[in-house]
Structure 1
Amino acid sequence: MSTDYQQAREALGARLRALRLGCPEGRLTGTQLARRLGWAHSKVYKLENGQQTATPEDLRAWADGVKQPDAYAELEGRLRGFESHIRSWRRQLAVGHLPVQENWNMEVARSRVIHAWEEAVVPGMLQTAEYARHLFLRYADLHGTKRDTEEAVRARLKRQSWLYEPGRMFRVLVWEAALHALVCPPSALAAQLDRLTGIVGMDTVELGIVPLAVPLKIPAANGFWVMDDRLVITEDWHAEMWLDDRDSVMTYTRVWKLLRESAVFGAEAQRVISRVRQAL
């Protein structure tokens, strides 16, 4: 978890504690508030010490429980502020994958140049419908969320129209491991690899493949996307992170450049893709 995010969570916890101690009816202990809200005492402790992220419902209950309902707007604003950087998958996917894809579409539309690195999957901007469909189903199963698969696939494919707009540039690196990963049936992966072969040479796409056998300047860690020079989007199993501070953007840009030194392009990239395709 990022330091900034944890500091914001701890600051919210300190504010919650202040509200509890300043209850108009008299100072409340953590045990008294927990009993009033029907919570375990440990939940009050974790929220106040920044060990658990509050939900909007938690904040509403807290404000009402300490008899200061007008404080909810402030608390919710604090939560919204730091969660704009760390976006929990549990919350984002509560109503399905479509809203997440629509948020991505808006960010992509704002961008002129995108630098991307993917180590485990083919990048969404280059996915076929069938490949994307299997990914959405696997993640819906993982998180136990709504299966709005077809709507999400259509939204992701809509984003690909960006590739055909003049003045855009998608500079993307893919680790060869992603080309081998059977996250879908072999027939779907074969079609996806055929799609990648056709992408090589597009004037709005620079596709680099990092072969498995080449030396790396830096470990092939998690995937990320740099939108112009203003925003990085990366993800982990628990959340998607939107980082807009200059230091983070510069760090991810340096990582991308180091990974690019190991990549092959053009006909050589096509040969790597074809070799994997033939192995299927």
Structure 2
Amino acid sequence: MSTDYQQAREALGLRLRELRLGAAGGRLTGTQLATRLGWPHSKVYKLEGGRQTAAPEDLTAWAAAVGQPDVAEELLARLRGFESHIRSWRRQLASGHRPVQDVWNIEVDRSQTIYAWEESVIPGMLQTADYARAIFLRYADLYGSVRDTEEAVRTRILRQQWLHQGGRRFHALIWEAALHALICSPSVLAAQLDRLAGMVGMDTVELGIVPLGASLRIPTANGFWVLDDRLVIAEDWHAEIWLDDADSVATYMRVWTTLSQSAVYGADAQALITRAQRSVNPRA
């Protein structure tokens, strides 16, 4: 977790403690407040200590329980401020995958140059509809989220129009393992590899593949995208991390550049795709 995020969470916790101690009608102990809220007392202390991130409904309930409902908007504003960097999947996917894709499309449309690193899947900008569908269904199962799969697929595919606009450039790096990962059926993967092979040499796409046997200067770690020089979007299992400070953007670009030094391009990349095609369909 980023230092800035944790500091903001701790600052919110201190404000919550201040409100508890200054409750209308007299100071409340943590146990008394927990009883009013119907929570385990440990939740009160975790929120105040910055060890748990409050949900919006937690903050609204806290403000009411201490007799100061008018401060709820202030607390929610504090939460929005630091959650703009750490966007939990639980909250993002509350309405399904389509809204998340809509937000991505807005940011992609604003960008001229995108750098992407994916170690386990084909990047969304290069996915077939069937492959994207398989990915969304797997994540819907994992998070128990709304199954708006077809809407999410259409929105992701719509984003790919960006690749056909002049002046745009997509620099994609993929670990070879992603070419073999059966996150979908073999037939869907075969079609996805055909699509990927067709991207090699496209004037708006630079496709690099890091071979499994390549010497790596750093671990492959998680996937991330750098949009122009203004925004990094990185994925973890609990959240998407959005970073827009210059130091973070520069760090992720150094990571991308370092990984790219182990990649192959052009005919060599095509050979790795062909090897994966033969693996998924030995008769090819």
TM class, shorter-length: over 0.9
TM-score (norm 2): 0.98
For residues 183-262 of structure 1, the aligned pairs below 5 Å read 183-262=183-262
The CA deviation string for residues 215-274 of structure 1, in whole angstroms up to 9 with x for no partner, is 011111101000000110001111110011111111100000011111111111111101
Task: Report the equivalent of 2:172.
Answer: 172
Q: How far apart in 2 are the matches of 1:213 and 1:51?
A: 41
Q: Which amino acid in the other structure matches residue 125 of structure 2?
A: M
Structure 1: which 5+ runs fail to align? none
Amino acid at match of 2:58: D
Q: Letter of the 2:222 partner, please give it.
A: N
Helix, strand or coil at the partner of 1:203: coil
* Greater displacement, 119-128 / 263-272: 263-272
Question: For 1:54-94, what per-residue CA distance to the aligned partner results, in whole angstroms no more than 9, with x for missing partners?
Answer: 01100000000011111111100000011110000011001
Partner of 2:266: 266
Give, as a single letter, the amino acid of the residue that structure 2 aligns with 1:279.
S
Instruction: Give the structure 1 partner of residue 162 of structure 2.
Output: 162
Match for residue 19 of structure 2? Answer: 19
Q: Deviations over 1:95-133 (max 9, x none)?
A: 100000000000000100000100000000000000000
Determine the C-alpha separation between the residues in 1 that align with 2:8 and 2:258: 32
**Equivalent in the alignment of 2:48:** 48
CA distance in 1, matches of 2:97, 2:237: 15
What are the superposed Cα offsets for residues 37-58 of structure 1, whole Å, 9 maximum, x if unpaired? 1111111111100111101100
Where do residues 54-93 of structure 1 align in structure 2 (5 Å cutoff)? 54-93=54-93
CA–CA separation in structure 1 for the residues paired with 2:177 and 2:250: 26
Q: How far, CA to CA, are the matches of 1:234 and 1:94 in structure 2?
A: 20
Q: Distance in 2 between matches of 1:40 and 1:255?
A: 42
Structure 2: how far apart are the matches of 1:236 and 1:49?
Answer: 24
Partners of 1:81 and 1:180 lie apart in 2 by: 40
Amino acid at match of 1:79: L
Please give the alpha-carbon distance, in whole angstroms, between the structure 2 residues aligned to 1:276 and 1:187: 13
Q: Which residue of 1 aligns with 2:122?
A: 122
TM-fit CA distance, 1:206: 0.3
Instruction: Report SS of the residue matched to 2:206.
Output: strand
* 1:24 to partner: Cα distance: 2.2
**2:178 alignment partner, SS class:** helix
**RMSD of aligned residue pairs (Cα, Å):** 0.6
Partner SS, residue 73 of structure 2:
helix
Give the secondary-structure state (helix, strand or coil) at the position aligned to 1:234: strand
Q: Deviation at 1:203?
A: 0.6
Q: Does 1:181 align with 2:205?
A: no
Distance 1:278 1:36 in 2: 63
Q: Read off the aligned partner of 2:273 and give its amino acid letter.
A: I
